[in-house]
Amino acid sequence: MMKSNEDVDTISLARFLEALYGSGLRATDPRLVEFSARLGNLTEDMVDRITFKNLVEPNIAIISRAFRRKFIIPDFTAFASRLDDIYNQCVNVTDGNVASYIPELAKADPNCWGYAMCTIDGQRHSLGNCTIPFTMQSCSKPLTYAIALEHLGADGVHQYVGQEPSGRIFNALALDIDNKPHNPMVNAGAILICSLLQNLVHFEMSFEQKLAYIMQHVQKAAGGEFLGYNDDVFLSEKCTGFRNYALAYLMKEQKCFPEMADVEEVLSLYFSTCCIESHCESMSVMAATLANGGICPITDEKVFSSATVRDVLSLMHSCGMYDYSGQFAFKVGLPAKSGVSGSLMLVIPNVMGLALWSPPIDRHGNSCRCLKFCELLLQEYNFHPYEHMGHATIKKRDPRMYSHHLQESTVLHLLFYAAAGDIGALRRHYLAGFDMSLGDYDGRTALHLAAAEGHLDCVKFLVEHCRVPCDPSDRWGHSPLDEAKGFQHPEVEQYLSTHLKNG
């Protein structure tokens, strides 16, 4: 940590930057624009206080949050390196095949593998092929759905399309019981969404303008980062996507579309949205915007309303992973969307967004490596929404800021109960799975407090049932036995010394 006291006249920029970027901020972060520009003008490593002050002043809010460890993942370096390990473990997954039903997609390199993450505080990290563009394919579906919701509201959209998992393959020739497409995450539903965008949103726009409008929206969600368009894949889909034609005409026959919809135009818009290109870096920001209630973490721009995001995430959760959505919800429990180009967008609400990309996909259409990554991530971290923070039997890691607070407050409670001699409360905490040996900032444990206050029953409970270590030292080098002696509780003293002697 940097010192800022009066004795320090100069500061090393290299060390300062190491700490700043270690927090997960990037030099290219829009919230550091002035800082990065001023930094570019400095040539020396050691700078004086005035120069340093001028450097950080325009972006002091975000810089000071970084140094006060106020981001959602306080120990970002450790977290990122664990995710890199998970990424590396997935290299061994060689299952699946590159999608071939769209001829252009068959050209993808099966060895490509990349991931990127962006937290709700804009902490970034990536590894592997994270800047190679891929077509978004079905990963565009949550975004087109979000744009439609923004303009038409949930009722406006859902009079045309359902909210139910289809239980069928993504491009199944099937509608729901009301003759509507099942949901906006499968092909029929997404084609329907395109008909709404085409006909009920800015009807005055030409086809090109409409596509540009959609792309602008998506790019805002990506914090202005990379977005491209792949004309070859578009032509490939348009010439060979007969199933999508069949779906669209089935829906036309069933009067699913708004009246004035032109099927060919609707399909062209649908194919175009599938052919928007992004890469892991930019897609991770889109996912982070969804994790952050619609506000892009790196630009602070409100891209979608929180109601829109809630609806999008709900359907990603239940329908985002093709015919594997139920199993994914069971194992991972998080909203996600995958596409046949091998990409996967994973949203950890209120924490971060992840984008993963590896072209070989399984029979459902999900990338095999990406799936493995999600499963390993959830095996290690307690991101599953139904995983209880305190009472879980298998303790998983929680890298979030508030977990520290949670732990601190639990320790305070434990110490309080021990000091008060409330053995019932200690028992409940023990049964709930809390670590009874935890100490506070000064290294004081429940056993110290119980011994200092002479609560023999609590001391016995902690030692015999909870099997806490008997002689932990606090910051003054005092053990529970010292406490019992110092505060003159001979029974406790006797008990602890016998116990220590007997090992």
Instruction: Give the footprint of ligand GLU on this chain (CB under 6 A).
Output: 137-138, 170-171, 187, 237, 241, 244, 274, 339-340, 365
Catalytic position from the list 145, 160, 270, 430: 270
The 8-class DSSP code of residue 106 comes to G
The 8-class DSSP code of residue 116 comes to E
Burial of 191 (0-12, 13-18, 19+ CB in 10 A): buried
Catalytic position from the list 23, 56, 141, 195: 141
Distance between CA atoms of residues 285 and 147, nearest Å? 17
Q: Quote the least distance from Cβ 37 to ligand GLU, whole Å.
A: 40
Q: Quote the least distance from Cβ 134 to ligand GLU, whole Å.
A: 11
Q: Quote the least distance from Cβ 106 to ligand GLU, whole Å.
A: 13
* Cβ contact 126:116 at 8 Å: yes
Q: What residues form DSSP beta bridges with 115?
A: 127, 356
Q: Quote the least distance from Cβ 220 to ligand GLU, whole Å.
A: 22
The 8-class DSSP code of residue 151 comes to H
Residue closer to ligand GLU, measured from CB, 21 or 229: 229
Residue closer to ligand GLU, measured from CB, 274 or 452: 274
Distance between CA atoms of residues 279 and 157, nearest Å? 29
- Identify which of 168, 161, 224 has the alpha carbon closest to the alpha carbon of residue 190: 161
Residue closer to ligand GLU, measured from CB, 20 or 139: 139
Tokens 């220590």 found at: 500
Bridge-based pairing of strands 336-338 and 343-348 is antiparallel
Is 282 an annotated catalytic residue? no
Residue closer to ligand GLU, measured from CB, 137 or 219: 137
Residues counted in the chain: 503
Q: Quote the least distance from Cβ 75 to ligand GLU, whole Å.
A: 36
Catalytic position from the list 340, 411, 468, 492: 340
Is 430 an annotated catalytic residue? no
Burial of 210 (0-12, 13-18, 19+ CB in 10 A): buried
Residue closer to ligand GLU, measured from CB, 67 or 245: 245
Is 81 an annotated catalytic residue? no
Give the torsion sign (CA, 261, 264, 265, 270).
positive
Residue closer to ligand GLU, measured from CB, 74 or 241: 241
Give the torsion sign (CA, 324, 325, 326, 331).
positive
Coil/strand/helix, residue 456? helix
- Contacts by 484-493, CB closer than 8 A, 24 or more apart: 484/451, 484/452, 484/454, 486/452, 487/451, 487/452, 487/453, 487/454, 489/451, 489/452, 489/453, 489/454, 489/456, 491/454, 491/456, 492/450, 492/451, 492/454, 492/455, 492/456, 492/459
Distance between CA atoms of residues 42 and 310, nearest Å? 45
Q: Quote the least distance from Cβ 362 to ligand GLU, whole Å.
A: 13
Residue closer to ligand GLU, measured from CB, 81 or 100: 100
In angstroms, the first-to-last Cα distance of the chain is: 41
Q: Quote the least distance from Cβ 237 to ligand GLU, whole Å.
A: 5
Is 138 an annotated catalytic residue? yes
Catalytic position from the list 23, 47, 126, 138: 138
Residue closer to ligand GLU, measured from CB, 236 or 479: 236
Is 322 an annotated catalytic residue? yes
Q: Quote the least distance from Cβ 171 to ligand GLU, whole Å.
A: 5
Residues designated as active site? 138, 141, 270, 322, 340
